[in-house]
A and B are shown apart, each in its own frame.
Chain A
Amino acid sequence: MEALFSVLVGALFAVSIYLFLSKHIIRVLMGVAILGNAVNLLIFTNGRLLREVPPVIAADEYTLQQAAANPLPQALILTAIVISFSFFAFLLVLGYRAFQELETDDTDEMRVAEPADEEAPPLGY
């Protein structure tokens, strides 16, 4: 199970990096969405994958008697999901505003902050 998930996580990372290499903001945005899921699955896999074993210690025991999935990575993922979701929402709006204001979603053409034809600094006093 873990091996299968590792391959899946690797595939998701590959896809998101491929999308990141695009010049178009919309594809990079999709890359961001996939990257967030890839990381969350990675942490999830780290915490052992077992179905239907509650990590509950019986009343007369002091430790868990059988291996159970670690709940802590799942709690970490909850935090990470909230953060990556809010990031994605912000980037979506930012990308849309950039498209409205700059009239392009091609990053090569986004040269407002760093104009291509900028004059050189004066060479003499």
Chain B
Amino acid sequence: MAATSSHSVDLSQAMNVDPTPLADWLVVMPVVWCLLAGAILLMLRKRTELQASIGIVALVGLCLLDAALLWRVLEEGPFTMVMGRWLPPFGIAFTVDLLGAFFTMTSGLVALAAGIFGRDDVDSTGRRYGFYPFLLLLMAGVSGAFLTGDVFNLYVWFEVLLISSFGLLVLGSEREQIDGATKYAFLNLVGTTLFLVATGYLYGLFGTLNMADILIKAPELRQTAPLMTLVCLYLLAFAMKAAAFPVNFWLPASYHTPKLVVSGLFGGLLTKIGIYALLRVLVMLFPIERAELGWVIAVLAAGTMLLGVLGALAQNDTRRAVGFLVISGIGMMLAGIALGSPSGLAGAILYAAHSMVVMTAIYFAAGIGGRVSGSFLLSRSGGIYPSHLVLAFATLALFLSMAGLPPFSGLWPKVMLVKAALDVGEWWLAGAILVTGFLTTITVGRIWALAYWKPRAADAEPLDPASQKVPMTSVIGLGMLTVLTVVFGLWPEPLIAISQDAARGLIDTSSFVLSVFPGEVPQ
């Protein structure tokens, strides 16, 4: 039928007539790679002896792709690829800027550490039920969320990573896990549904879902459209994903229940996706509304960081204490978002990257420690230090990094955040950050003193020699992340520069818009 039509159609109005340059494919490669590797691993799920090797090789490949992506963005700035060669805003665009590339790289490294750590942490039953496929599909969701330039597509990647996280969370099906997963699943479902509601309204108001297109249309629509309502909905949805106070209670109910490697992965990556979405949608797309809501976010930030650390202080179980420390860290990042200044945002971005690495490593370390001493409870463990010197010192380094003490990577983002808060006269927010740091030091100091330093009580059961051997893969996984936090604590300049550039890219969006619409005049 179409052939008989004499109508000639000018495709260049709606499509890229030239094929997409090969180099631009790089922006979708992390996602494609993870989906492919996940599918292959799923087909081979009965070959449990192959799962770990293929999974680790795939994650190394992911890290190389992420590094190439970061390198290209550092060299040339943001770039875009549109699906199906439709011109934006008709096609779904993947746009990577420095923020997305930096977070993708960090998450790739964390996933690699988890993949290595998981080799011996997950038994062959866990592997047959799909630990590695779920890990790869989770990374597809995480990378997709960091790289997409379309709001509805961001929602889809949220769902991809959420479904994979359900699979990982219930792996093993212990009673505890079922209990934790129930709360995690229902509350996260409400969070993503709120995200979908807001996105439905966003389309209703703007008639587009492309982020660059929204940036172009927002100034005009701001006069009439109820953008503030929209932004409040987004704030609630993403705060729920990020586990910000007062919608944080699903996290301490569930994060300590799954396998150690899964706890580490979740504590490192999942809450940071909420922070990333806040940075992308609130800070980049709706800066004026975010500035209006600045004090609300600041109060939430202070509440999150203080209540998080107070919760950690009240825990007897180290894994649950670490869960509360994750929440406390979210408060730090929210403080940067509340300030909204370039230095505050840079602090939040650097803190997020630091927190991805360190929170994962702390879960790993606490897990190995608990296994060695036979109990995760502070009241029953102790005496790890004499027999496991290196583990004890690695854990101490991670704890001090978490508390923000030099010479580890936690110091620098906190310095940036405190300075940014004082620059705009928000002394109480700076005070909250410092008090939280002090309370964190007490919390981690107590955990270390009781579980590692204190000699074993005379009536406690003696250390079981069989459980004392720490597998090599656990050492490598934990060691990798510990080395990262030490190196970037001693040599932070490159990361600080990247964070500052990424923050500038969120405020001055012209290069982001130009990468999607090359002809557009920057505003």
**A-side interface residues toward B, CB under 8 Å?**
20, 25, 28, 32, 35-36, 39, 42-43, 46-47, 59, 72-73, 76, 79-80, 83-84, 86-87, 90-91, 94-95, 97-98, 101-102, 107, 110-114, 118-122, 125
A114 to B315, CA, bound (A): 11
A125 to B257, CA, bound (A): 27
Q: Are B178 and A98 in contact (CB under 8 A)?
A: yes
Closest chain B residue, CB of each to CB of A62 = B13
Given A46-B200, A119-B379, A121-B379, A112 contacting B176 (CB threshold 8 A): yes
Closest chain A residue, CB of each to CB of B255 = A113
Closest chain A residue, CB of each to CB of B254 = A113
15 A-B pairs with CB atoms under 8 Å apart are: A25-B182, A39-B200, A46-B204, A47-B204, A59-B5, A72-B203, A79-B152, A79-B156, A90-B163, A94-B170, A97-B173, A98-B179, A110-B182, A113-B183, A121-B315
Given A87-B189, A122-B378, A114 contacting B253 (CB threshold 8 A): yes
Q: Are A91 and B196 in contact (CB under 8 A)?
A: no
A34 to B178, CA, bound (A): 24
Which of chain B's residues have a CB closer than 8 A to the CB of A101?
173, 175, 178-179
Q: Are A112 and B197 in contact (CB under 8 A)?
A: no
Q: Are B203 and A43 in contact (CB under 8 A)?
A: yes
- Chain B 170-221 residues near chain A, CB threshold 8 A: 170, 173, 175-183, 185-186, 189-190, 193, 196-197, 200-201, 203-204
Which of B200, B257, B379 neighbours the largest number of chain A CB atoms within 10 Å of its CB? B200
- Chain B 224-245 residues near chain A, CB threshold 8 A: none
**B-side interface residues toward A, CB under 8 Å?**
5, 7, 152, 156, 159, 163, 166, 170, 173, 175-183, 185-186, 189-190, 193, 196-197, 200-201, 203-204, 252-254, 256-257, 314-317, 320, 377-379, 446, 449-450, 454
Q: Are B163 and A110 in contact (CB under 8 A)?
A: no
Q: Are A121 and B200 in contact (CB under 8 A)?
A: no
Which of chain A's residues have a CB closer than 8 A to the CB of B7?
59
Which of chain A's residues have a CB closer than 8 A to the CB of B190?
20, 35
- Shortest beta-carbon distance, B118 to chain A, in Å? 22
Which of B170, B186, B316, B377 neighbours the largest number of chain A CB atoms within 10 Å of its CB? B186
A114 to B166, CA, bound (A): 19
A119 to B449, CA, bound (A): 18
- Shortest beta-carbon distance, B173 to chain A, in Å? 7
Q: Are B315 and A91 in contact (CB under 8 A)?
A: no
Which of chain A's residues have a CB closer than 8 A to the CB of B204?
46-47
| Choice from A83, A91, A98 contacting B159 with Cβ under 8 Å | A83
- Shortest beta-carbon distance, A79 to chain B, in Å? 6
Which of A25, A32, A114, A125 neighbours the largest number of chain B CB atoms within 10 Å of its CB? A114
A42 to B317, CA, bound (A): 44
- Shortest beta-carbon distance, B499 to chain A, in Å? 33
Closest chain B residue, CB of each to CB of A44 = B200
Which of chain B's residues have a CB closer than 8 A to the CB of A94?
166, 170, 178, 181-182, 185
Q: Are B193 and A43 in contact (CB under 8 A)?
A: no
Please name 14 further chain A to chain B contacts, defined as beta carbons within 8 Å, in addition to the given A59-B7, A87-B163, A110-B183, sorted by A numbering.
Answer: A20-B190, A32-B189, A43-B196, A46-B204, A91-B185, A97-B173, A110-B182, A113-B180, A113-B253, A113-B257, A121-B378, A122-B379, A122-B450, A125-B449
Which of chain A's residues have a CB closer than 8 A to the CB of B176?
112-113
A125 to B448, CA, bound (A): 11
Q: Are A125 and B179 in contact (CB under 8 A)?
A: no
Q: Are A119 and B203 in contact (CB under 8 A)?
A: no
- Shortest beta-carbon distance, A20 to chain B, in Å? 7
Q: Are B379 and A42 in contact (CB under 8 A)?
A: no
Which of chain B's residues have a CB closer than 8 A to the CB of A36?
193
| Choice from B203, B257, B379, B450 contacting A73 with Cβ under 8 Å | B203
Given A20-B190, A46-B204, A90-B163, A125 contacting B182 (CB threshold 8 A): no
Which of chain A's residues have a CB closer than 8 A to the CB of B152?
76, 79
Q: Are B256 and A90 in contact (CB under 8 A)?
A: no
A87 to B159, CA, bound (A): 9
Given A87-B189, A121-B316, A121-B379, A112 contacting B175 (CB threshold 8 A): yes
A79 to B450, CA, bound (A): 51
- Shortest beta-carbon distance, A35 to chain B, in Å? 6
Q: Are A113 and B163 in contact (CB under 8 A)?
A: no
Which of chain A's residues have a CB closer than 8 A to the CB of B449?
125
Which of chain B's residues have a CB closer than 8 A to the CB of A32?
186, 189
A32 to B190, CA, bound (A): 8
Q: Are A91 and B197 in contact (CB under 8 A)?
A: no
Which of chain A's residues have a CB closer than 8 A to the CB of B196?
39, 43, 80
Given A59-B7, A114-B253, A95 contacting B182 (CB threshold 8 A): yes
Closest chain A residue, CB of each to CB of B197 = A39
Closest chain A residue, CB of each to CB of B318 = A121
Which of chain A's residues have a CB closer than 8 A to the CB of B320?
114
Q: Are A113 and B5 in contact (CB under 8 A)?
A: no
A80 to B253, CA, bound (A): 28
- Shortest beta-carbon distance, B5 to chain A, in Å? 7
Q: Are B378 and A73 in contact (CB under 8 A)?
A: no
- Shortest beta-carbon distance, B357 to chain A, in Å? 26
Which of chain B's residues have a CB closer than 8 A to the CB of A113?
176-177, 179-180, 183, 253-254, 256-257
A90 to B179, CA, bound (A): 14
- Shortest beta-carbon distance, A11 to chain B, in Å? 15
Closest chain B residue, CB of each to CB of A48 = B204
A49 to B156, CA, bound (A): 25
Closest chain A residue, CB of each to CB of B13 = A62
A78 to B315, CA, bound (A): 45
Closest chain B residue, CB of each to CB of A29 = B186
